[in-house]
């Protein structure tokens, strides 16, 4: 019975390690409102050295995470929407 628990624990850790670690900051969630007419900083966490791409409307900006953190600045946008903000990584 103990070995079954250890196997379950090992599978759990392996599955967790396989999950993507690219995440935007918590404020970027469903129904978020971004200010219009000013550059929009978007930031979050990712594995060190991972390429992160942020897309919204007709914009796409990429950067590489350093020390587990990343940030991009989107060009000012006009009011409108709804828009979908997509954050993706290379893993």
User: Residue 76 gets which letter from DSSP?
Assistant: P
Q: What is the mean pLDDT of residues 26-34?
A: 90
**pLDDT category of residue 11 using cuts at 50, 70 and 90:** low
More confident residue, 45 or 16: 45
- Name which of 79, 27, 72, 24 is nearest 57 in CA terms: 79
Question: Are the CB atoms for 77 and 36 separated by under 8 Å?
Answer: yes
pLDDT over 80 (residue 26) = yes
Lowest mean pLDDT, pick from 19-28, 43-52, 62-71: 19-28
Please report whether residue 11 resides in a domain. Answer: no
Please report whether residue 44 resides in a domain. Answer: yes
pLDDT over 80 (residue 47) = yes
Please report whether residue 72 resides in a domain. Answer: yes
Cis omega (within 30 of 0) on the bond before 82?
A: yes
Number of domains in the chain: 1
Q: How far apart are CA 21 and CA 88, in angstroms?
A: 10
Output the domain CATH number for residue 69: 2.60.40
């Amino acid at each position: 019975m103990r070995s079954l628990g250890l196997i379950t624990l090992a599978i759990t850790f392996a599955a967790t390690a396989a999950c993507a670690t690219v995440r935007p900051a918590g404020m970027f969630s469903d129904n978020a409102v971004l200010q219009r007419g000013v550059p929009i900083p978007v930031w979050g966490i990712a594995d060190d050295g991972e390429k992160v791409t942020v897309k919204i409307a007709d914009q796409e900006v990429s950067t590489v995470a350093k020390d587990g953190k990343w940030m991009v600045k989107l060009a000012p946008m006009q009011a409108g929407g709804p828009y979908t903000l997509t954050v993706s990584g290379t893993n």
